[in-house]
Amino acid sequence: MATISMFGITHFHRQNPYLVAWWSAAYPGFGHYLLNQYVRATILTLIEVTINTLAHINESIVYTFCGNFEKAASVLRPEWVFGYLMIYFFAIGDSFRSTLMQNKLCHLAELENNPICSVHLHPLEIQYLEQKNPFLALWYSIMFPGLGQLYNHQFVLAFYAIFWWWFYLIMSHVYESAFYMITGNLQQAISVLNIHWLLFLPSIVGGATYHAFIIVIEHNRLYRMEQRRYLAERYGNNESQLFPSGGLINC
Amino acid sequence: MLIVGAFEHSVELEQALAVLEHMGFPQKSILVVPMDTDPEMGNQYIAKSRDRYYKAFEVGMAGATACSVIGMSIGFVLKLGPVFWGLVFAFFAFWIGFIVYLHFNKDNSRHLPKKLPEITVIVQTSKEKSETVMETFWMYRALVVGHVTGQER
């Protein structure tokens, strides 16, 4: 059902395949993060940011929604676009299919009800399963994507997300834009923004928040499952009779 | 004498049991009953009435992200700019998704309180030691504690 390592807890959980596929569509790789397939998810996110930048996908999206279809077509780089599309749709399809499979494996693991090791001591780290508050994870993630993952003890993923969030903030100039907007300089607020990097932001905040929130709920579920299993094992074979003299017969 | 306490799933519960065993109460005198909070056994581990709101929240988040990208893009030709419209679209899409989900998934579960007695612990002991057990229960966040003064064995 779950295993614990220096990097945190890796586990099966039941999910709605459409939601997982949707997060893959929002940002290729995010669906695989929800499936606990961290290495391939990370590589997919690196592919997304690299190829999107080379193919100018985000600029094309903005021009399309603004109704400037000629510019939307001319800004795209055909040598990168086709490969981008293949990987993009593969990520969606694969995460959908993997969710169906993992849901079945999760069902089997639940019935098996094997012990879950809930503490891991490593010379460099301590990891443990604990009960947490999903709304605290939500709050941290909205404040700064990556902090929610840190709250969930997934420190490698957390610092990966924190690094990229800084990168996107600086490249998109979104804080400067917000500053100009507050001071009433609307013209400047729009012109300072970088279209390409700005368009990544909603997916990152949304994906990071959703991931942190789901993982808290699933960790809580694992905690409860493991505690029940443990208590049943340790205190289940109890010979004490609550009514030693035979209960009703003597009344 | 029987001491009965009810707890939530927590580390404190395990602390309470470990402390009792450490104090010399034999494992055989302790009975632990995990309680189901929902008649449907299939999802006994997740069963809490708040699940519906979690799901609605997930749908809201997905909608907010999608609409935020669209709002941001359109914002480049609107007066207040992409950041403003991105946030506005995200906000409304979240609440639309949240409310629509709740509307189509009516609440047919019982309204449960926030804290549920999920684990019942029963300890059989002598009258002199019963105070210690009750104090330990309360110290480690028991929700309710009761006792039965029965015949001594």
For residue A186, the chain B residue with the least C-alpha distance is B80
pLDDT of residue A46: 96
Of the listed ranges A218-222, A240-244, B11-15, B93-97, the one predicted with least confidence: A240-244
Pick from A23, A17, A6, A10: which is nearest to A210 by CA?
A: A23
Does any domain span residue A245? Answer: no
Count of H-run helices and E-run strands, chain A: 13, 4
Please report whether residue A240 resides in a domain. Answer: no
Inside any domain, residue A242: no
Residues 100-159 of A with CB under 8 A from B: 110, 130-131, 134
Find, among B86, B125, B65, the residue nearest to A206 by Cα: B65
Residues of chain A contacting B118 with CB distance shorter than 8 Å:
224
A239 in a domain, yes or no? no
Is A245 within 8 Å of chain B by CB? yes
Assigned token pair, B81: 């700019």
A209 assigned to some structural domain = yes
Number of separate domains in chain A = 1
Is A235 part of any domain?
no
Query: What's the domain range around A67?
Result: 2-228
Q: Is residue A249 part of a domain?
A: no
- Distance, CA of A57 to chain centre: 23
pLDDT surpasses 90 at B66? no
For A65, the closest of B73, B122, B151 (CB atoms) is: B73
Pairwise CA distance, residues A83 & B28, whole Å: 65
Which of B83, B84, B85, B120 best tests the A interface by mutation, with the highest count of A CBs <10 A?
A: B83
The H or E element that residue A47 is part of is helix A38-55
Do the Cβ atoms of A181 and B84 come within 8 Å?
A: yes
pLDDT tens-digit readout, A235-251: 877 666 666 655 454 44
B3 in contact with A, Cβ within 8 Å: no
Residue A50 Ramachandran class (φ > 0 left, ψ -120 to 50 alpha, else beta): alpha
Using the predicted structure, report yes or no on whether residue B38 has a pLDDT greater than 50. Answer: yes
What is the Cα–Cα distance from B38 to A135, expressed in whole angstroms?
Answer: 23
B window 114-133, beta carbon within 8 A of A = 118-119, 122, 124
Give the pLDDT confidence of A91-150 residue by residue, as tens digits. Answer: 999 999 999 999 999 989 988 888 999 899 999 999 999 999 999 999 999 999 999 999
Supply the ipTM of this predicted assembly. 0.78
What pLDDT does B77 receive? Answer: 82
SS3 content of chain A, % helix, strand, coil (to 5): 70, 5, 25
Whole-number pLDDT of residue A250: 43
Domain B2-41+114-148: which CATH number of 1.10.357.10, 2.30.30.100, 3.40.30.10, 3.30.70.260: 3.30.70.260
**CB nearest B2 (choices: A230, A235, A242):** A242
